[in-house]
């Protein structure tokens, strides 16, 4: 990865509802084992989680660049960085179909998914997806693999949890453009977003501000449940939905510490709010919109 890679466009990831405080691990033991949900509900950071489980750093087996693209590189590009499990391959396909730049994905194999015939079946599913995207000649899809530990031999239950940070780190390391955007696999960029970011003047401004001013851009995540109404495709439409609460800031009701401070009011007051080209992406899983925060 070039040393000039300095920009992270992405989602604010995790912050817990409660601080660690004073508590005894014995409160979270059931049948002689630590209860994962009980412990996680009391913790703020990954370091706290690791300490609570008395766990050390896990060294996963990783296959970087298991599948890489032969599509020519572009002069100006932004890499979409994502991670997910095998049951999310349809979402990865949707991302690749909607993105005209590079896409670096780290895919998690659970222990049973790499055993016997399962391994070849799952690898072929990845290869088939990659062939489809390559034939279209647009998105430069790069897929890396990360294999779970065997739960029977893992020292701690913590070591068997979904390693979201390890997966993201693999996908980031396999990104070779100056600009990257970290995004969950359930989100799909809207039409024209890559073109907007890579327009010459905009792109040069982003690179300059990232490298010289050390700017990092965050994304506001808005959630719309599919049982309510059709997905709004413009910022103006999203603003109208926010007024009647059919659209809400994603997961604020679950984790206000992580998703509350997005300054959605400031975003709505911006002059750009009526510009439909500013709608950045949609989450197919929870029908969320992801919009730029200025």
pTM for this prediction: 0.72
**DSSP per-residue letters across 25-71:** GGGGEETTEE-HHHHHTT--SHHHHHHHTT------EEEEEEE---S
H runs (alpha helix) in the chain: 36-40, 46-52, 89-98, 117-136, 164-173, 193-198, 200-213, 235-243, 256-259, 264-269
Give the residue among 238, 231, 224, 225 at the shortest CA–CA distance from 278.
238
Give the residue among 127, 279, 96 at the shortest CA–CA distance from 193.
279
CA dihedral over 147, 151, 154, 155, signed as positive or negative? positive
Query: For every one of its 294 residues, what pLDDT tens digit does the chain have, with 9 covering 90 and above?
Result: 443 433 433 332 222 222 233 334 556 666 666 566 666 666 655 556 666 556 567 788 999 999 999 999 999 999 999 999 999 999 999 899 989 999 999 999 999 999 999 999 999 999 999 999 999 999 999 999 999 998 888 877 778 889 999 999 999 999 999 999 998 898 777 677 899 899 999 999 999 998 898 888 776 677 766 555 566 656 677 777 777 777 777 777 777 776 666 667 666 666 454 444 444 444 444 444 444 332
- Please name the residues in contact with 59: beta carbons below 8 A apart, sequence gap of 6 or more: none
Give the span between the Cα atoms of 209 and 217, in whole angstroms. 10
């Amino acid at each position: 990865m070039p040393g000039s890679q300095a920009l992270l466009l992405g989602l604010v990831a995790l912050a817990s509802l409660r601080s660690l405080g004073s508590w005894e691990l014995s409160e979270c033991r059931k049948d002689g084992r630590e209860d994962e949900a009980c412990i996680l509900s009391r913790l703020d950071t990954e370091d706290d989680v690791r300490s609570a489980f008395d766990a050390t750093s896990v060294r996963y087996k990783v296959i970087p660049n298991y599948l890489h693209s032969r599509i020519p590189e572009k002069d100006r590009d932004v890499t979409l960085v994502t991670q997910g499990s095998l049951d999310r391959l349809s979402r990865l396909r949707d991302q690749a179909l909607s993105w005209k730049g590079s896409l670096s994905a780290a895919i998690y194999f659970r222990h049973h998914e790499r055993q016997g015939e399962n391994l070849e079946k799952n690898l072929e599913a990845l290869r088939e997806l990659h062939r489809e995207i390559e034939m279209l000649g647009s998105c430069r899809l790069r897929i890396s693999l990360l294999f779970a530990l065997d739960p029977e031999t893992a020292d701690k239950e913590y070591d068997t949890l979904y390693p979201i940070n390890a997966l993201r780190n693999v996908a980031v390391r396999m990104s070779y453009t100056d600009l990257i955007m970290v995004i969950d696999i359930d989100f799909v960029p809207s039409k024209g977003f890559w073109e907007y970011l890579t327009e010459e003047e905009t792109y040069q401004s982003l690179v300059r501000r990232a490298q010289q001013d050390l700017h990092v851009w965050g994304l506001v995540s808005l959630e719309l449940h599919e049982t309510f109404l059709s997905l709004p495709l413009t910022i103006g439409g999203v603003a109208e939905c926010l007024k009647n609460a059919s659209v809400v800031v994603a997961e604020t009701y679950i984790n206000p510490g992580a998703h509350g401070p997005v300054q959605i009011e400031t975003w709505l007051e911006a002059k750009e709010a009526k510009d439909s080209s500013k709608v950045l992406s949609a989450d197919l899983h929870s029908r969320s919109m992801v919009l730029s925060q200025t």
